[in-house]
Amino acid sequence: MSLVGRKISAFTAPAVINGKDIVENFSLGQYFGEKYIVFFFYPADFTFVCPTEILEFQKRLSDFEKRGAVVIGCSTDSQFSHWKWLQTPKNDGGIQGVTFPLVADQTLTISENFGVLAGQTAYTEEGEAVFQGSPVALRATYIADKQGVIKHEVVNDLGIGRSVNETLRTLDALIHFEKHGEVCPAEWKDGDTALTPTFEGIADYLSKH
Protein backbone atom coordinates (compact mmCIF):
# COMPACT_ATOMS: atom_id res chain seq x y z
CA MET A 1 0.00 0.00 0.00
CA SER A 2 1.36 3.42 -0.96
CA LEU A 3 2.15 5.93 1.77
CA VAL A 4 1.91 8.94 -0.57
CA GLY A 5 -0.45 11.50 0.90
CA ARG A 6 0.03 10.24 4.45
CA LYS A 7 2.00 11.83 7.25
CA ILE A 8 5.47 10.36 7.56
CA SER A 9 6.01 8.45 10.80
CA ALA A 10 7.47 10.57 13.60
CA PHE A 11 9.09 7.51 15.17
CA THR A 12 11.63 7.72 17.98
CA ALA A 13 14.75 5.57 17.64
CA PRO A 14 18.51 5.56 18.26
CA ALA A 15 20.66 7.19 15.59
CA VAL A 16 24.15 8.41 14.85
CA ILE A 17 24.31 12.09 13.91
CA ASN A 18 27.19 14.26 12.67
CA GLY A 19 29.10 11.11 11.80
CA LYS A 20 30.04 10.43 15.42
CA ASP A 21 27.39 11.21 18.04
CA ILE A 22 24.98 8.52 19.23
CA VAL A 23 21.55 9.79 20.30
CA GLU A 24 18.83 7.59 21.74
CA ASN A 25 15.70 9.58 20.84
CA PHE A 26 16.01 10.70 17.23
CA SER A 27 12.71 11.60 15.52
CA LEU A 28 11.67 12.87 12.11
CA GLY A 29 9.08 14.97 13.93
CA GLN A 30 11.74 17.56 14.78
CA TYR A 31 11.69 18.67 11.13
CA PHE A 32 7.92 19.09 10.73
CA GLY A 33 7.08 22.64 9.72
CA GLU A 34 10.71 23.43 8.97
CA LYS A 35 12.28 21.14 6.36
CA TYR A 36 11.58 18.85 3.45
CA ILE A 37 12.46 15.30 4.52
CA VAL A 38 14.35 12.82 2.35
CA PHE A 39 14.21 9.57 4.30
CA PHE A 40 15.69 6.41 2.85
CA PHE A 41 16.13 2.79 3.90
CA TYR A 42 19.10 0.64 2.93
CA PRO A 43 19.64 -3.07 3.68
CA ALA A 44 22.76 -3.21 5.86
CA ASP A 45 26.00 -1.67 7.03
CA PHE A 46 29.32 -3.05 5.73
CA THR A 47 27.85 -4.21 2.43
CA PHE A 48 28.56 -3.34 -1.19
CA VAL A 49 25.82 -1.32 -2.93
CA CYS A 50 24.80 0.52 0.26
CA PRO A 51 27.99 2.59 0.70
CA THR A 52 27.82 3.78 -2.92
CA GLU A 53 24.33 5.18 -2.25
CA ILE A 54 25.16 6.69 1.14
CA LEU A 55 28.35 8.32 -0.10
CA GLU A 56 26.48 9.71 -3.12
CA PHE A 57 23.86 11.25 -0.81
CA GLN A 58 26.70 12.80 1.19
CA LYS A 59 28.33 14.10 -2.01
CA ARG A 60 25.07 15.83 -2.95
CA LEU A 61 24.10 16.80 0.61
CA SER A 62 24.70 20.52 0.07
CA ASP A 63 22.34 20.42 -2.93
CA PHE A 64 19.57 19.03 -0.73
CA GLU A 65 20.33 21.52 2.04
CA LYS A 66 20.15 24.45 -0.40
CA ARG A 67 16.61 23.35 -1.14
CA GLY A 68 15.66 23.29 2.54
CA ALA A 69 15.79 19.50 2.83
CA VAL A 70 17.32 17.10 5.32
CA VAL A 71 18.60 13.64 4.38
CA ILE A 72 18.25 10.72 6.81
CA GLY A 73 19.23 7.08 6.27
CA CYS A 74 17.94 4.02 8.11
CA SER A 75 18.76 0.31 8.29
CA THR A 76 18.06 -2.55 10.66
CA ASP A 77 21.60 -2.40 12.07
CA SER A 78 22.31 -1.10 15.58
CA GLN A 79 23.53 2.40 16.32
CA PHE A 80 26.87 0.84 17.30
CA SER A 81 27.23 -0.80 13.90
CA HIS A 82 26.40 2.56 12.26
CA TRP A 83 29.02 4.27 14.42
CA LYS A 84 31.72 1.72 13.56
CA TRP A 85 30.94 1.97 9.83
CA LEU A 86 31.08 5.77 10.02
CA GLN A 87 34.55 5.57 11.54
CA THR A 88 35.82 3.17 8.87
CA PRO A 89 37.75 4.75 5.94
CA LYS A 90 36.23 4.50 2.48
CA ASN A 91 39.19 2.47 1.21
CA ASP A 92 38.36 -0.15 3.81
CA GLY A 93 34.68 -0.34 2.85
CA GLY A 94 33.51 2.34 5.27
CA ILE A 95 31.58 5.58 4.98
CA GLN A 96 33.85 7.89 6.94
CA GLY A 97 32.93 11.53 6.29
CA VAL A 98 29.15 11.02 6.14
CA THR A 99 27.44 13.61 8.36
CA PHE A 100 23.69 13.10 7.91
CA PRO A 101 21.81 10.97 10.48
CA LEU A 102 21.70 7.19 10.27
CA VAL A 103 18.79 5.68 12.20
CA ALA A 104 19.00 2.27 13.89
CA ASP A 105 15.93 0.08 13.35
CA GLN A 106 17.21 -2.96 15.20
CA THR A 107 13.69 -3.86 16.39
CA LEU A 108 12.50 -3.88 12.72
CA THR A 109 9.44 -1.81 13.69
CA ILE A 110 10.22 1.22 11.50
CA SER A 111 10.79 -0.94 8.42
CA GLU A 112 7.62 -2.90 9.17
CA ASN A 113 5.56 0.27 9.65
CA PHE A 114 6.74 1.60 6.29
CA GLY A 115 6.04 -1.78 4.69
CA VAL A 116 9.60 -2.24 3.39
CA LEU A 117 10.93 -5.13 5.49
CA ALA A 118 12.28 -7.77 3.11
CA GLY A 119 11.02 -10.65 5.27
CA GLN A 120 8.04 -11.27 7.51
CA THR A 121 7.06 -13.09 10.68
CA ALA A 122 5.09 -16.32 10.28
CA TYR A 123 3.79 -18.75 12.89
CA THR A 124 4.21 -22.50 13.20
CA GLU A 125 1.35 -24.84 14.06
CA GLU A 126 2.58 -24.65 17.64
CA GLY A 127 2.19 -20.87 17.60
CA GLU A 128 5.90 -20.08 17.55
CA ALA A 129 6.95 -16.93 15.69
CA VAL A 130 9.40 -17.66 12.87
CA PHE A 131 10.95 -14.97 10.65
CA GLN A 132 10.92 -15.86 6.98
CA GLY A 133 13.13 -14.08 4.49
CA SER A 134 15.77 -11.49 5.31
CA PRO A 135 15.31 -9.13 8.30
CA VAL A 136 16.61 -6.11 6.38
CA ALA A 137 14.93 -3.17 4.69
CA LEU A 138 14.46 -2.85 0.95
CA ARG A 139 15.97 0.18 -0.81
CA ALA A 140 13.10 2.59 -0.21
CA THR A 141 13.16 6.38 -0.57
CA TYR A 142 10.54 8.85 0.67
CA ILE A 143 10.21 12.60 0.19
CA ALA A 144 7.94 14.49 2.56
CA ASP A 145 6.95 18.13 2.33
CA LYS A 146 7.51 20.61 5.15
CA GLN A 147 4.27 19.51 6.81
CA GLY A 148 5.60 15.95 6.93
CA VAL A 149 3.24 14.63 4.24
CA ILE A 150 4.80 12.03 1.94
CA LYS A 151 4.78 13.21 -1.68
CA HIS A 152 7.04 10.61 -3.27
CA GLU A 153 8.11 7.03 -2.65
CA VAL A 154 10.12 4.49 -4.60
CA VAL A 155 11.15 1.00 -3.49
CA ASN A 156 13.91 -1.09 -5.06
CA ASP A 157 14.79 -4.72 -4.44
CA LEU A 158 18.02 -5.42 -2.56
CA GLY A 159 20.29 -5.68 -5.60
CA ILE A 160 19.15 -2.50 -7.37
CA GLY A 161 20.85 0.74 -6.33
CA ARG A 162 18.87 3.96 -6.42
CA SER A 163 19.55 7.24 -8.25
CA VAL A 164 20.35 10.18 -5.99
CA ASN A 165 20.06 12.47 -9.01
CA GLU A 166 16.47 11.29 -9.51
CA THR A 167 15.70 11.93 -5.83
CA LEU A 168 16.98 15.48 -6.19
CA ARG A 169 15.05 15.98 -9.44
CA THR A 170 11.85 14.81 -7.76
CA LEU A 171 12.41 17.19 -4.85
CA ASP A 172 12.85 20.03 -7.38
CA ALA A 173 9.55 19.05 -9.02
CA LEU A 174 7.77 19.12 -5.66
CA ILE A 175 9.19 22.55 -4.82
CA HIS A 176 8.29 23.90 -8.26
CA PHE A 177 4.72 22.63 -8.00
CA GLU A 178 4.31 24.16 -4.53
CA LYS A 179 5.76 27.48 -5.58
CA HIS A 180 4.16 27.96 -9.01
CA GLY A 181 1.19 25.59 -9.14
CA GLU A 182 2.53 24.22 -12.42
CA VAL A 183 2.77 20.47 -12.94
CA CYS A 184 6.01 18.85 -14.10
CA PRO A 185 5.93 16.62 -17.21
CA ALA A 186 8.03 13.56 -18.01
CA GLU A 187 11.78 14.05 -17.63
CA TRP A 188 11.26 17.56 -16.23
CA LYS A 189 14.23 19.06 -14.43
CA ASP A 190 14.79 22.37 -12.70
CA GLY A 191 14.82 25.20 -15.24
CA ASP A 192 12.66 23.36 -17.78
CA THR A 193 9.22 24.53 -18.84
CA ALA A 194 6.41 23.12 -16.74
CA LEU A 195 2.74 23.29 -17.68
CA THR A 196 -0.51 24.59 -16.29
CA PRO A 197 -2.88 21.80 -15.20
CA THR A 198 -5.50 22.48 -17.90
CA PHE A 199 -6.22 20.88 -21.27
CA GLU A 200 -5.14 24.11 -22.92
CA GLY A 201 -1.89 24.12 -20.97
CA ILE A 202 -1.15 20.51 -21.94
CA ALA A 203 -1.97 21.18 -25.59
CA ASP A 204 0.33 24.22 -25.60
CA TYR A 205 3.15 22.23 -24.01
CA LEU A 206 2.80 19.33 -26.46
CA SER A 207 2.75 21.68 -29.43
CA LYS A 208 6.20 22.97 -28.40
CA HIS A 209 7.70 19.57 -27.75
User: Residue 23: beta bridge partners?
Assistant: 15
Alpha-carbon Rg for the chain, nearest whole angstrom, is 19
The CA distance from 30 to 17, in Å, is 14
Helices (H) and strands (E) in the chain, counts: 6, 9
Q: Is 184 a catalytic residue?
A: no
Beta strands in 34-183 (DSSP E): 36-41, 69-75, 102-104, 120-123, 129-132, 139-144, 150-156
**Long-range residue pairs from 90-97, CB within 8 A, at least 24 positions apart, any chain:** 90/51, 90/55, 93/46, 93/51, 94/51, 95/51, 95/54, 95/55, 95/58, 96/19, 97/19, 97/55, 97/58
Candidate list 3, 15, 38, 50, residue with the active-site label: 50
Burial degree of 21 (CB within 10 A; 0-12, 13-18, 19+):
exposed
Catalytic residues: 50
